Chain A
């Protein structure tokens, strides 16, 4: 039982850490000597703020929202752990976590579809982008586990 609890918390924390790294580290696109998006573009000679288009701002917003919802979900999990009645389900926690995963998914999709508008040819996706795509199924699975889980003891 305790093992299950620790496993669930570990999964949630892993998704949360991936979300943080993916949002904060600005390496969604890499070129030969440049890394760019979401927040700054860096070359070997220096960094400048990222382009202020509408789409990149929406990706920024959605990633921040996913972090907020995932943190709220963790907080709610601990609340519901101590206040839920026996046999109850962690619906609220699961809802927030699933919403967070949907936000990550929409952010990654928006970036995939719209980034050719401002990213020059020859640049490939960086590791922050990949982490966002990895965080999406982790958060989704974590949210589904919360919805299915029943409080015992």
Chain B
């Protein structure tokens, strides 16, 4: 899990001196969601100390375009306190596991006004020096189409049809030459270079420079 990976990566860097103990907090970088859906914002931390009983998690929210943060969640002393007055009242739920250093919250029924930055701050006494980590939430009305998806799809379909037509054409020529189909030979072959080769024994002309896929 995350703590194990963090431990091994730090161990590879060498022995960490005693003074530089700091708590490292991990959230996502950016989260996308649709209006009306639920989203889980994860927050976990790495600390050299064992998880103490006084571990605290707190989440603050700063709307897009605003400079003020509002505190929306706090976990301390074994109890979780969710927002009951602010923009997320009745929409916030604590789904984390403090014993496993997980302080994730669940936001329900997202609105367009919920766009903003969510900051998670965790403290694991006596390891309290650390930098909070932020995750940006983007709420969309409908899933935006990535640039180039439709372009590539149209080009692919048309070129695929072209290749298909070429393949079918050569297949038909091959099958007529093998007498599988009894098409009238004089009608077959739009290429004028075969126009004069209307014989019973019809050999396909050499395949020169027609573009093959």
Residues of A within 8 A of B (CB): 49-50, 52-54, 57-58, 60-62, 64-65, 68, 72, 75-76, 79, 83-85, 87-89, 91-92
Which residue of chain A lies nearest to B148 when distances are taken between CB atoms in the complex?
A57
Do A79 and B146 form a contact, CB below 8 Å, given A57-B151, A84-B192, A85-B196? Answer: no
Do A83 and B209 form a contact, CB below 8 Å, given A54-B145, A57-B147, A58-B150? Answer: yes
B211 and A83 form a contact (CB under 8 A): no
Q: Which one of B152, B190, B209 has the greatest number of beta carbons of chain A within 10 Å?
A: B209
Which 4 residue pairs across A and B have the least CB separation, nearest first?
A88-B192, A61-B154, A79-B209, A57-B150
Query: Chain B 182-194 against A: per-residue CB contact (8 Å), 1 yes, 0 no?
Result: 0000000011110
Which of A52, A53, A58, A84 lies in contact with B193, CB distance below 8 A?
A: A84
Interface majority SS on B: helix, strand, loop or mixed? loop
- C-alpha spacing A92/B208, complex, angstroms: 14
B208 and A91 form a contact (CB under 8 A): no
Could you name 14 residue pairs across A and B whose Cβ atoms are closer than 8 Å?
A50-B147, A54-B145, A57-B145, A57-B147, A57-B148, A57-B151, A57-B154, A60-B151, A62-B154, A65-B154, A72-B211, A76-B211, A83-B209, A84-B193
Is the CB of B16 closer than 8 A to any CB of chain A? no
B195 and A85 form a contact (CB under 8 A): yes
Name the interface residues of B152-199: CB closer than 8 Å to any CB of A.
152-155, 158-159, 190-193, 195-196
Q: Which residues of B contact A92 (CB under 8 A)?
A: 210
A85 and B193 form a contact (CB under 8 A): yes
- C-alpha spacing A76/B196, complex, angstroms: 22
Is the CB of B149 closer than 8 A to any CB of chain A? yes
Is the CB of B144 closer than 8 A to any CB of chain A? yes
- C-alpha spacing A50/B148, complex, angstroms: 11
Q: Within the complex, what minimum Cβ distance (angstroms) separates B63 from chain A? A: 24
Q: Within the complex, what minimum Cβ distance (angstroms) separates B78 from chain A? A: 48
Residues of B within 8 A of A (CB): 144-155, 158-159, 190-193, 195-196, 208-211
6 new A-B contacts, CB < 8 A, other than A57-B147, A85-B196, are: A52-B146, A62-B154, A64-B155, A65-B154, A76-B210, A88-B193
Which residue of chain A lies nearest to B156 when distances are taken between CB atoms in the complex?
A61
Which of A57, A75, A91 lies in contact with B149, CB distance below 8 A?
A: A57
Q: Within the complex, what minimum Cβ distance (angstroms) separates A105 from chain B? A: 15
- C-alpha spacing A134/B155, complex, angstroms: 23
Which residue of chain A lies nearest to B158 when distances are taken between CB atoms in the complex?
A65
Do A68 and B159 form a contact, CB below 8 Å, given A54-B150, A57-B151, A60-B151? Answer: yes
A79 and B154 form a contact (CB under 8 A): no
- C-alpha spacing A85/B144, complex, angstroms: 54
Which residue of chain A lies nearest to B190 when distances are taken between CB atoms in the complex?
A91
Q: Within the complex, what minimum Cβ distance (angstroms) separates B208 from chain A? A: 5
- C-alpha spacing A85/B205, complex, angstroms: 12
A61 and B155 form a contact (CB under 8 A): yes
A52 and B211 form a contact (CB under 8 A): no
Which residue of chain B lies nearest to A88 when distances are taken between CB atoms in the complex?
B192
Q: Which residues of B contact A91 (CB under 8 A)?
A: 190, 192
